[in-house]
Amino acid sequence: MKKTTLSPLSIAFHVFLNTFIWLCIYRWLCGIMDAYAGKIADIDLTRKKVTVASTPSDWKKRYLGGRGFGARVVTDRVDARDDPLGEKNVFVLASGPTTGTGIPLGSRYEISAKSPLNGTLMSSNSGGVFGWKIKRAGFDAVILNGKADKPCFIFLNEGKAEIRDASAYWGKTTHEATEMIISDLGDTKAKVACIGPAGEKKSLLACVINDMDRAAGRAGGGAVMGSKNVKAIVAAGDLSIGVADEERLNTVKERIREKLEKNGICQALTKYGTAVLVNIINEAGILPTRNFQSAHFANAEKVSGEALAEKYLKKNKGCYACIVRCSRVTEVDGEIHEGPEYEPLWAFTADLGIDDLAFATKATWLCNKLGLDAIGTPTAIACAMEMKEKGYIRDGPHFGSPDGLLDLIRQMAYREGFGAELSDGSYRFAEKHGHPELSMSVKKQDIPAYDPRGLQGHGLEYATSVRGADHVYGYMVSPEVLGAPVKLDPYTSEGKAQWTKTFQDLTAAIDASGMCLFSSFALDADDYADMISAATGTSLSARGLLHIGERIWNLQRLFNLKVGYTKDDDTLPSRLLNEPLREGAPKGRVWQRQPLLDEYYELRGWDKNGVPTRQKLEELGLA
């Protein structure tokens, strides 16, 4: 056989062609490996139909994931007039592009729906390892439509989604259901997000619990799952999570890791958990006590993070890829679980006038087992305590006494006895008994653990939050109390409208990205933009990141306006507007609604009634 000899020109051409082909393959692979799993499970429970579709590229660009995906789906599919507990509401569970990529604190997922608590376009965020696992199962999001004819759970595995029978798990606590599902599957690596009895009974305080002790709480997301007869969403499988530019991402990871490790707030969270705030907030004179009748708790030291560490702490624990590890694993009377965090600890102690740390820990655990929001549950009890104190109701719990409260929490979950009246939150309870002013809520959602009479910016965040009073939709406590990124005067209104808007937009983008909000103590918008760009292969600036957050915020605002919310609802309870604080540094102060609100509307590009202008909607691509 004659041997063929290639000319130098032919060899050069073949080298060029092979290089070109491999470059094309590399670019194609980079386009696929963009930190997304690439699939969405769209499930019609009524028709028992499962559709697996590709994650829309437009959603990735404009909404990132998590809260952004949820806001888009709910807006597209739910009429603002639809019953939140009816078949027409949707339930969305979505991760973000940073979730599961190994980025420090990139572990979160979000649930979204029309809230049964207050009708808003709600979302709720949770950590642990479940968010990472649904991406390993091959999905960026799960959308639940309609209603199953019997209890079921959704099984995600290796890019496939199934509706399976959950009759054996209905009626079980979240811990029991999780253990039973994993045992029946025979897969100890599977992860479960489920509802407890509270969700099955459609309590408007019901939440979703993943990994046994992590909650996607507030706004009643667990009731939406219960209304659809869905007990759980289960993730299994070990598909890889690719990123677009691993070398660049590793460089970004190291930078943010260093920032997080050197940050004083993150160091305190590692040492004492979120409950480190108890003494800090109490000393600032803004720890709500006895249903916000006061803002200083004399026995705060006894229920502080320091006391928790001394008496009951076994170890600290973190979510997937977390280096802060703020969660507390505690032991009381031989029982070991995670918690409590700062907000439930405050609500089960100072807000009830109780200084029993063991009780507060057990009460938080019980809420997790029953699938109850561990903020809304005790704040509803606090409202009942004040109603009892003032003689507006004959029976009920008393400030300062934990007697019978664990049983009352169980009643709330199962809608039994006196607990049935509290099962839908403080606002409905107080309204039923003729005194809605004693519900310390905004848009029917109870205010968390900071008295806004001593925090003008945080008060604005509460009043304007698109899911009702909330501390994680724009954490103005960070600059006003903790001094991050700079220390602001908490008592002045000057500049607070701009700060609040920026924090709200940034938080929306962080929730969409899959990052933990606590990362914002150390990181800035440039850091988030860099990590998302490296993971997804897109070119995103800090300004572009905030623009995405602003788009999500306005989308939720538009939905709420259609529900019927107006400027009149962007306010705080009358007590916080008219009854000055009586002690501490903020003594004599109330929250000043004006001119903060008008300035905030103007900065948002909304009209004087809080409605986004046509120009603003066009700017955001929402017109």
Domains recognised in the chain with CATH numbers: 39-236 (3.60.9.10), 275-443 (1.10.569.10), 450-521+541-623 (1.10.599.10)
494: phi then psi, degrees, rounded to nearest 5: -60, 125
Q: Would you say residue 9 has pLDDT above 90? A: no
The encoded tokens of residue 498 equal 């701009």
Query: pLDDT per residue over 501-513, tens digit each?
Result: 999 999 999 999 9
539: phi then psi, degrees, rounded to nearest 5: -110, 100
Query: pLDDT per residue over 228-272, tens digit each?
Result: 999 999 999 999 999 999 999 999 999 999 999 999 999 999 999
Query: pLDDT per residue over 81-121, tens digit each?
Result: 999 999 999 999 999 999 999 999 999 999 999 999 999 99
Residues in CB range of 283: below 8 A, 6 or more apart: none
The encoded tokens of residue 68 equal 């952004």
Q: Would you say 517 and 510 are in contact if contact means Cβ atoms under 8 Å apart?
A: yes
Q: Would you say 232 and 371 are in contact if contact means Cβ atoms under 8 Å apart?
A: no
Q: Give the pLDDT band (50/70/90) at residue 31.
A: very low
H or E, element range at 54: strand 49-54
Q: How far is the CA of 475 from the CAs of 264, 371, 463, in angstroms?
A: 17, 25, 13
Q: Would you say residue 26 has pLDDT above 80? A: no
Q: Would you say residue 19 has pLDDT above 60? A: no
Residue in the structure block whose two tokens are 């990590």: 531
pLDDT of residue 29: 43
The encoded tokens of residue 99 equal 């979730």
pLDDT of residue 1: 47
Instruction: Report the C-alpha gap between 122 and 356 in whole angstroms.
Output: 33
154: phi then psi, degrees, rounded to nearest 5: -100, 125
Instruction: Report the C-alpha gap between 317 and 239 in whole angstroms.
Output: 25
Query: pLDDT per residue over 443-465, tens digit each?
Result: 999 999 999 999 999 999 999 99
Looking at this protein, which amino acid is placed at residue 437?
Answer: E
- For the ranges 11-25, 135-149, 573-587, 600-614, the lowest mean pLDDT is seen at 11-25
* Dihedral over Cα of 143, 148, 153, 157: its sign: negative
When pLDDT is averaged across residues 470-476 and rounded to a whole number, the result is 95
Q: Give the pLDDT band (50/70/90) at residue 30.
A: very low
Q: Give the pLDDT band (50/70/90) at residue 33.
A: confident
Q: Give the pLDDT band (50/70/90) at residue 28.
A: very low
Task: Tell me the HSE value of 76 on the side-chain side, using a 13 A CA sphere.
Answer: 11
Q: What percentage of the chain carries pLDDT values higher than 70?
A: 95
Going along 349-493, which residue ranges are E strands? 441-442, 445-446
Residues in CB range of 9: below 8 A, 6 or more apart: none
Residues in CB range of 425: below 8 A, 6 or more apart: 117, 204, 205, 376, 380, 439, 441, 444, 445, 446
Report the C-alpha dihedral over residues 448, 452, 455, 457, rounded to 10 degrees.
80
Looking at this protein, which amino acid is placed at residue 593?
Answer: R
Q: Would you say 425 and 441 are in contact if contact means Cβ atoms under 8 Å apart?
A: yes
Query: pLDDT per residue over 361-411, tens digit each?
Result: 999 999 999 999 999 999 999 999 999 999 999 999 999 999 999 999 999
102 exposure class (CB count in 10 Å sphere: 0-12, 13-18, 19+): middle
Cis bond before residue 595 (omega within 30° of 0): yes
Q: Would you say residue 11 has pLDDT above 70? A: no
Q: Which of 127, 129, 138, 123 is nearest to 40 (CA)?
A: 138
Query: pLDDT per residue over 178-224, tens digit each?
Result: 999 999 999 999 999 999 999 999 999 999 999 999 999 999 999 99
Q: Would you say residue 12 has pLDDT above 80? A: no
Q: Would you say 354 and 340 are in contact if contact means Cβ atoms under 8 Å apart?
A: no
When pLDDT is averaged across residues 344-352 and rounded to a whole number, the result is 98
- With a threshold of 0.85, does the pTM exceed it? yes
**Alpha carbon distance, N-terminus to C-terminus of the chain:** 72
**Mean pLDDT rounded to a whole number for the chain:** 95
Q: Give the pLDDT band (50/70/90) at residue 27.
A: very low
H or E, element range at 327: strand 327-332
Instruction: Report the C-alpha gap between 116 and 78 in whole angstroms.
Output: 13
pLDDT of residue 61: 97
Q: Would you say residue 25 has pLDDT above 80? A: no
